[in-house]
Amino acid sequence: MENRMSLEFDAKSENESFARMTAAAFVASANPTAPELAEIKTAVSEAVTNAIIHGYENSEGIVKMEGKISGKMIEFTVTDEGWGIEDVEKARMPLYTGKPELERSGMGFSIMESFMDNVEIESAPGMGTRIRLVKNLEI
């Protein structure tokens, strides 16, 4: 079974929970376990939060979220056209944050990587960021 979805929404904090719930509703048809569903929701929420807070830095913008189910493989892609990340490898380090004044721990990528089987990050300054999250459900 294969299924796809695509969604665009304003880069506003109030849309983080909308994205999280949409991801959960979409994945439900693949019959994930409760822990798998919680992990997917958290990883998607972290990617969306990064796009809103770091991608656009309180300016207007659009976040794109795409989902794909192929058998037991779940894939989400979260894309913004914001500021981009200067050093992706540095940003992946636990506790790194580009916004220390916001009192955030900067563990978003670490959380995504601990909950998903594969996390790919494509980004360049001024070009935005694309995060691809993949999880293979238990069979």
Which residues are part of the catalytic machinery? 46, 50, 104
Distance (Å, rounded) from C-alpha 61 to C-alpha 76?
Answer: 19
Q: Which of 1, 34, 40, 47 lies closest to 15 in space, CA to CA?
A: 47
What tokens does 33 get?
């376990």
Q: Quote the CA–CA distance of 106 and 110 in Å, as a whole number.
A: 9
Q: How many CA atoms lie within 13 A of 61 on its CB side?
A: 25
Both tokens of residue 105? 């721990």
